Amino acid sequence: MFENHQAARSHPRVAGLIMSLCIAPQAFGSGFAVPEISTAGVGMANALVANPRDRGAVPYNPAAMAFHQGSWLSIGSLLIGPSFSVETASGSHDSEGADWLAAPMIQAAIRLDERWWAGLSINAPFGLETRWSTGTFPALAGSAALPGPEPTRSNLEILAFTPTVTYAVSDALAVSAGADIYWVKSAELDSSITALEGDGTGWGFNLGALYVTGPFSAGINLHSSATARVDGTYSALEPTMVIAGVLPPSQTAELDLEIPWRLQLGVRYEFTPALAVEFDWTRNGWSSFDEIKVIGDLDGSTILRDRNEWDDANAYRLGLTYQLQDRTQLRFGYSYDETPQGDGHFSARVPDSDRHLFGVGVGHDLGNGWQVEAGYMYVLFEERDYRSRTPYTLGGEINGTDAIDGDYDAHAHLIGLEISRSFDGL
């Protein structure tokens, strides 16, 4: 996530290298968000904030716990198969990331009495990984004597632990509040001549409300912004460049990673006992992710401030449930997620673009309190034919320059699997 230098001003090439390694992760919501936090969410394209019926809605709006009987536990996993490619002056290149990635989806709800519930969600709301082979971006390749700072691997894994409490104000209205505890489990940014890795923690809060009257329901959920303190190491992979003073020596460094706020509003209507439709609007506060500030541990000075200048972004989500049989529910969803990343600071680390999400899923009641769910989502990124009018200069910033010109394309397959058990006696 970060890189360090004792005196970056005296090493312009290093300053450009550091800027090229600044975080630019991307996932399958806007920016570097992974909004799929339950199997029901996979099948319904994350349109669940106003859903009082399905257990998979609780991670999206904990106030929904008040409309469920008893206590229950759900355990599942999100499997992600991403594919990224780019065509540059050196030809067509595919990302060499992991074929499939896995993230946890765990939710527990405990009914304390007639009015109070307690819950805990564990999921991975941000992250993912891409890798580019050396030679993908020829303008950054440098020479044999002085290798360039080509971005090669970007890996970010963030787990969220979200304890909440819910209070039923009335039979129609419930409210919730809780904490968002983020663990940056792994943060790695590598180039052809350096390697960076670190981890850290941060926290925020969340608030929610759900109103249900007859076939109509409306929900709101807010997650605050948060700052995760990331500490780690910087390693120079070219010792001769360290001796020549082009690269700093290996050492430790730190930065504050800004996690955006998220606001989700939704309305849901049950047209028949079998058919319900929900529409959600989500706003992601990516404008808080305005800069990367790297602090060197050798003398405690700020050795880099890099601008991101991302914009707040919207997502528009439509979800549908159909009760096929008493015990079997079908789910469908579509979402359009905007990118917060403009051309001015576009990054090849993991290029971002607007995307379309198509979901389908099923939930089946096995009886005796057991329930199984499966969901599939296809994510189609809009092609981004990036051409910059800003020339790259040796030692300068790479993001937003013609050094990373190319035709970027991406898509992903997501699979959610989950099993849950209710405990009506609790």
Tell me which residue of 222, 111, 115, 219 sits closest to 169, measured CA to CA.
Answer: 115
| Most confident residue range from 42-51, 181-190, 235-244, 380-389 | 42-51
d(CA 226, CA 203): 6
What was the pLDDT predicted at 11? 42
pLDDT in the model for residue 92: 92
User: In whole angstroms, what is the distance from residue 324 CA to residue 305 CA?
Assistant: 55
Higher pLDDT, 275 or 242: 275
- Quote the CA–CA distance of 221 and 209 in Å, as a whole number: 7
Q: How far apart are CA 287 and CA 318, in angstroms?
A: 25
User: Tens digit of pLDDT for each residue in 32-48?
Assistant: 889 999 999 999 999 99
Residue 10 or residue 128, greater confidence? 128
Q: Average pLDDT of 403-414?
A: 92
Q: Please, what's the b/e burial string for 41-75 (b: 16 or more CB within 10 A of its CB; e: otherwise)?
A: bbbbbbbbbbbbbbbbbbbbbbbbbbbbeebbbbe
Output the pLDDT for position 19: 36
Residue 234 has which token pair? Answer: 């910087």
- pLDDT above 60 (res 348): yes
For the segment 135-153, what is each residue's pLDDT rounded down to a tens digit?
888 888 766 556 667 788 8
Tell me the pLDDT band of 84, cut-offs 50, 70 and 90.
confident
pLDDT, one tens digit per residue, over 215-264 is: 999 999 999 999 999 898 877 777 887 777 777 777 788 888 889 999 99
**Can you tell me the mean pLDDT for 266-284?**
97
Question: Domains along the chain?
Answer: 8-423 (2.40.160.60)
Q: How confident is the model at residue 187 (pLDDT cuts 50, 70, 90)?
A: confident
Report the alpha-carbon distance of residue 326 to residue 329 in Å, rounded: 8
Higher pLDDT, 363 or 292: 363
- Residue 1 is predicted with a pLDDT of 39
Structure tokens at 61: 């709006």
Contact call for residues 127 and 25 (beta carbons, < 8 A): yes
Least confident segment among 48-62, 96-110, 232-246: 232-246
How far is C-alpha 237 from the chain's CA centre?
29
User: What is the percentage of the chain residues whose pLDDT exceeds 90?
Assistant: 58
How many residues appear in the chain? 426
Q: To which H or E segment does residue 316 belong? A: strand 313-323
Going by C-beta distance under 8 Å and a sequence separation of 6 or more, which residues neighbour residue 326? 365
